[in-house]
Amino acid sequence: MAQEIVFDRDLESVKNLAWWLYLLHGASLVFSLGALSFIPLIVSYLKRSDAAGTFVYSHHNWQIRSFWWYLVWIAVGAVLFMTIIGIPLAWLVFTLAWIWKAYRMIKGLLDLNANRPMPA
């Protein structure tokens, strides 16, 4: 007996939006070092409630947390950059923060495509 596949348009719609937001975060990292990530951040805040009760809700939270933690690490790097001694360390912080956010966006995108929620 063949198993019937059920297509949920609402779930696919919120999933597609989260997919595009991951791509926008990624494009922002590549083209503006994350400076334009506030655009998909705002959309995540506005559309997160539409995904309530689905695994996609956790992806909006993941993207939002990723943005704010990235901003914290960039601020730490900026403070270090203001001191002569801290400049090399600041570049290390900037680089590690960029790699960390890129990892989170790639992991999120892969888990979204596999219909898996992100950890809380």
Q: Is the dihedral of CA 53, 116, 9, 61 positive or negative?
A: positive
pLDDT value at position 4? 63
CA distances from 7 to 4, 11, 26, 70 (A): 10, 9, 28, 36
pLDDT value at position 9? 86
b/e per residue, 31-59, with b = 16+ CB within 10 A? eeebeebeebbebbeebbeebeebbbbbb
Neighbours of 86 (CB within 10 A): 17
Q: Is residue 27 part of a domain?
A: yes
| Separation of alpha carbons 7 and 119, rounded Å | 25
Count: domains in the chain: 1
Range of the domain at 23: 9-113
- For residue 71, what are its two tokens? 């901003």
Residues of the chain where predicted confidence (pLDDT) is lower than 70? 1-7
Q: Is residue 47 part of a domain?
A: yes
Q: Is residue 73 part of a domain?
A: yes
